[in-house]
Amino acid sequence: MEAPLAVKRLLQRDDIHGIVVLGIIERGETDHGVVMGHAVTKALIDLQLSFMKPIGMGILGPGIFASQITPRLRSYARAATLAVCQMLRQQ
């Protein structure tokens, strides 16, 4: 839940042109992770549009099983980073 605040603080800096957010929201016994995932995603999209700076979302889940994490770590991080790079090149 702290990611949007950390991202906002960074986006306020003139030397930051884009950000990649990485995280994992594992499957739990309640829907807390789903709620958290939706709230964080919405907040990050709002920040992206407010600051007009790209935010790459490399967040696994919500609801991912522990066995699914390792095989997806690099590809999600890579895709999020490439998305930001592509957006920055289009400016």
* CB-based contacts of 60, cutoff 8 Å, min separation 6: 23, 24, 25, 68, 69, 72, 73, 76
DSSP for 50-64, please give it.
HHT--EEEEEEEEEE
> Which residue among 9, 17, 27, 32 is the active-site one?
32
Beta carbons within 8 Å of 34's beta carbon, 6+ residues apart: 62, 63
Note whether 63 and 70 are within 8 A (CB): no
Verify whether residue 38 is a known catalytic residue.
Answer: no
Token pair for 14? 């003139």
62 prior amide bond cis, ω within 30 = yes
Domains for the chain: give ranges and CATH numbers.
3-89 (3.40.50.960)
- Reply yes or no on whether the pLDDT at 5 is more than 90: yes
Residues 36-89 pLDDT 10s? 999 999 999 999 999 999 999 999 999 899 999 999 999 999 999 999 999 999
Predicted local confidence at residue 30, as pLDDT:
86
